[in-house]
Amino acid sequence: MEKQKCQEQVYNNWHWFGCCNNAKYERKGRWYCGVHDPDRRHKQVTIRSAKWDKEWAEKSDRNERISLMDRILKDKTVDELREMAKVKESK
């Protein structure tokens, strides 16, 4: 029996062609290699999205804190800010 080839179409900045890898997985009647397996791709996208969402939330929180500090401290002079820092350090 001849080995199945991956049925995914790949683009190489010039034209589309069939993937040359041997197929390992059958999904909904189509054969895919380990690179183009839809289940694997979905899992990778989910993991990557969760990571990016976490990073985005951390950056948003940090930016919001900076913005709030700017609004609170915008009318203070440098000397007043230094005095506030000394009071907090002494406690």
Q: What angle do CA 20, 21, 27 make, to 5 degrees?
A: 115
The pLDDT tens digits for 41-50 are 999 999 999 9
Q: Where are the alpha helices (DSSP H) in the chain?
A: 38-73, 78-90
* Residue 36 to residue 31: CA distance in whole angstroms: 9
Per-residue pLDDT averaged across 23-32, rounded?
A: 90
The pLDDT tens digits for 53-88 are 999 999 999 989 888 888 888 888 888 888 877 766
| Domain ranges within the chain, ordered by starting residue | 1-36, 38-91
Distance of CA 7 to the CA centre of its chain: 28
pLDDT (0 to 100) of residue 91: 57
Does residue 47 or residue 13 have the better pLDDT?
47
